[in-house]
Each structure stands twice: as structure tokens, then as C-alpha cells.
Amino acid sequence: MLGAISIAPPSTVALPPKLLSPIPKSSFNGLRLQHVCPVGIRLPTASFRRSSSPSSSVVMMAKREEEMKEIRTKTTEEINEEVVDLKGELFMLRLQKSARNEFTSSEFRRMRKRIARLLTVKREREIEDGIGKRLSRKFDRQWKRSIIVRPPPSLKKLQEEEAAAEAAEAAKSA
């Protein structure tokens, strides 16, 4: 099944120059062991590679860094407000999904990640102030109890648009 494996002392092992190249083509930095297969059987090697270019990951990292810089400029109160708004938006998305309305599924992940980033910055600030984990959780519980439930911004916007449309209809009929 597998080819013969020979064990040699490290002084006699010769590596091909391809593995010693200074700039690897992939993120894999170790030795790659390949199976010796019978003639006629080929293992798929290139099918697992991602089609995205390396520059796209650099752009995504830059966007995340920009977002983190933007979050860090906000005050803790603004972060708390945005977390509440995003959680409301997430709830509205879940309602749309359960009602089988049209929605963008990528919004779930985007909102959850944004909430996580906001809470991470909030926790970083608590650590800077010397607040321990236990006290932080106590503050979190108090903060969650103090939240006043309000409709998310998207619902407010929808209600305003409906009110404007009704006002326009009333103006046309009058």
C-alpha cells in the first residue's frame, strides 16, 4: 500500500532544492510526505487549493483593521448602544428567517462578528482599567438588566417609510 520508507541518519538526508526555496508557494512550511501509488492512480493535489488571490486576504485584513480602529474611537456608551441595536437587528433577521421572508444570510455572520468585535474592545478597556473577569461578568449582568427594549433601527426606518407613504397617499387623495 505505502511505499518503502527508509530511515537514515540526519547527516545523510538530502533534501531537494525545491523544498529549500526561501519563499514557499503555500503556507505549509514542513516536509510533505507523498504516498507511492500503483500506476494509473493519481491523487488529487491541486483541487483543494483556494481560488482566491493572496491580495484579497490582505484587503480583508485591512478592512477589519479599519473597523477595529473605528470601534476603538467610540466611547463605551456608544459601544453599548451599538451592541443593543445590532442584537435587535439580529433578532429581526431571525424573525424574517422564521417567517420565510427574503433576507440575506450573510448578514447573520456579519452582525455576530461585529457584536463580537464591539464586546472585545469593551473587554479590552475593562482590562486596561484593571477590572477582573468576575467583576466584568457582574457588570455585564447589571448592564443587561438595565437595557430598555426598543425596536431596532431597521424597524424604525421601515415604520417611518410606511408613515411617509401613508402621508403621501393622504395628500394625493385630499
Q: What is the pLDDT of residues 58-109, one digit of tens each?
A: 666 777 888 889 999 999 999 999 999 999 889 888 888 888 888 888 889 9
Burial class (CB within 10 angstroms; exposed 0-12, middle 13-18, buried 19+) of 140: middle
pTM metric for this prediction = 0.57
Longest dimension (CA), the chain: 96
- The cell 510526505 sits on which residue? 33
Residues 31-39, mean pLDDT to the nearest whole number? 53
Report domain 62-151's class.
mainly alpha
Greater confidence (154 vs 122) lies with 122
> Which pLDDT does position 125 carry in this prediction?
92
Helix, strand, coil abundance in the chain, percent, nearest 5:
60, 0, 40
